[in-house]
């Protein structure tokens, strides 16, 4: 015979700031766009993600093969950054410009053949000026030949999980074998920001937001259109790189951080600089306006209390074992509810940190995240005579002698 009955408790918590919207949705049937909404765009390839979780906010042909053009220089930069991070390369190290590098066409830093340039100067040439010559100098200086450097680029891509990319040069110069996807470029940009955080390496990633750089007395501006005007000032855009060839069209890989939300955006296949500028600004504005990172509970926060059976305390707190947060669109927020469940009452003895419940985040009835709830303190079991007394009371008085079950 069970002396202690257990009741499954479930409570639905709607934070005060979203309760009204949720009620309106439930009773008025307000429709909602999903995160990956069908936002019209002229870009052929799109992937926008939230930086911390990788959650997809918008996508279009994310795994379709495409040409990266100069966005391949993000990988060139990643490889160089990695050498600096492991100590095998320093920003003041110098490399001599080869004849091959000097003869490179396309966008250039106008390096002089036979002249030495520092790694720092060459990185600014690659990232800010999009210099093909600077990229080749770095490739030859680090790997002997650009072909050898491409091998290192591909090995790095494999390590990062870029499954559909093949790099053949350090510049993104047209090549039949050169290929990538919006998904892979998003993985790369995310990894570069994650692995070389600005607070740890202030001399590396912040190069991407430099608006102009002068080398050999020639000043050139950064081609990233989001670094100028409203996008930079209001949206916190701080990188990364543009690209263009006849085959790729106009592309941009960008990142921005606003109100604690960082997004990584890859667009490619647009038809003009003007279109790239307007379309990237429009989509970045939309994403940062419509999505927010809602922090429901911090790790260790007491979410609720459970009744205790046969314990020296009548209640025990339920604390979140991790942060409970979710990036949501305005529409999704209207459909969001937090469900807390546990078996009530909880039988003593109870140890602090013991898992006794679960918190689930549901959107439109679908569970999208779960986290364990743990006891916030130890609760000793009653002594034998006290337990017998409690059991006797239950047998005589029934369920009324057991603490009320919550959420019934």
Is 165 known to be catalytic? Answer: no
Choose the catalytic residue: 9, 107, 109, 130.
130
CB proximity list for 62: less than 8 A, separation 6 or greater = 45, 46, 47, 56, 181, 182, 183, 186
CA 80 to chain centre: 23
Burial class (CB in 10 A: 0-12, 13-18, 19+), 233: exposed
From CA 217, how far away is CA 123, in angstroms rounded?
Answer: 17
Beta bridge partners of 208: none
φ and ψ at residue 374, rounded to 5 degrees: -120, 160
- Hey, how many other C-beta atoms are within 10 angstroms of the C-beta on 340? 21
Q: Which of 9, 70, 231, 248 is catalytic?
A: 70
What are 179's two structure tokens? 């290929």
Question: Which token pair is 268?
Answer: 């490619």
Question: What is the Rg, in whole angstroms, of the alpha carbon atoms belonging to the chain?
Answer: 28
> In angstroms, rounded to a whole number, what is the distance separating the alpha carbons of residues 45 and 318?
45
Q: Classify 181 as helix, strand or coil.
A: coil
In terms of Cβ atoms closer than 10 Å to its own Cβ (0-12, 13-18, 19+), residue 349 is middle
231 is catalytic: no
User: Does residue 73 have an active-site annotation?
Assistant: yes
Contact 381, 349 (CB under 8 A): yes
Given the residues 60, 73, 209, 335, select the one marked as catalytic.
73
Residues forming the active site: 70, 73, 130
């Amino acid at each position: 015979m069970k002396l202690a009955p257990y009741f499954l408790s479930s409570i639905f918590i709607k934070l005060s700031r979203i309760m009204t919207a949720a009620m309106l949705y439930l009773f008025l049937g307000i429709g909602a766009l999903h995160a990956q909404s069908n936002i019209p765009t002229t870009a052929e390839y799109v992937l926008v993600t939230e930086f911390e979780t990788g959650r997809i906010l918008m996508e279009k042909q994310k795994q379709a093969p495409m040409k990266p053009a100069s966005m391949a220089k993000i990988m060139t930069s990643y490889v160089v950054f990695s050498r600096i991070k492991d100590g095998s390369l320093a920003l003041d190290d110098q490399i001599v410009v080869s004849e091959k590098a000097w003869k490179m066409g396309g966008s250039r830093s106008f390096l002089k053949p036979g002249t030495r340039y520092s790694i720092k100067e060459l990185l600014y040439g690659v990232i800010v000026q999009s210099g093909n010559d600077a990229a080749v100098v770095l490739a030859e200086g680090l790997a002997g030949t650009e072909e050898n450097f491409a091998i290192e680029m591909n090995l790095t891509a494999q390590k990062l999980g870029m499954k559909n990319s093949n790099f053949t040069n350090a510049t993104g110069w047209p090549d039949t074998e050169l290929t990538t996807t919006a998904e892979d470029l998003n993985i790369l940009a995310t990894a570069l920001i994650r692995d070389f955080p600005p607070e740890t390496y202030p001399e590396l990633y912040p190069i991407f937001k430099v608006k102009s750089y002068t080398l050999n007395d020639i000043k050139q501006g950064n081609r990233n259109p989001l670094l100028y005007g409203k996008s930079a000032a209001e949206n916190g855009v701080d990188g990364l790189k543009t690209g263009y060839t006849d085959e790729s069209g106009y592309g941009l890989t960008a990142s921005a951080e606003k109100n604690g939300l960082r997004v990584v955006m890859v667009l490619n296949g647009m038809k003009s600089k003007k279109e790239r500028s307007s379309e990237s600004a429009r989509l970045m504005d939309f994403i940062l306006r419509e999505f927010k990172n809602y922090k429901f509970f911090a790790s260790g926060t007491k979410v609720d209390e459970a009744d205790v059976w046969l314990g020296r305390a009548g209640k025990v707190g339920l604390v979140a074992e991790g942060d409970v947060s979710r990036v949501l669109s305005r529409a999704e927020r209207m459909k969001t509810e937090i469900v807390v469940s546990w078996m009530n009452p909880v039988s003593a003895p109870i140890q602090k940190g013991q898992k006794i419940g679960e918190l689930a985040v549901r959107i439109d009835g679908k569970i999208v995240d779960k986290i364990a709830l743990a006891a916030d303190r130890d609760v000793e079991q009653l002594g034998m005579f006290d337990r017998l007394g409690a059991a006797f009371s239950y047998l005589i008085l029934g369920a009324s002698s057991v603490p009320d079950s919550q959420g019934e």
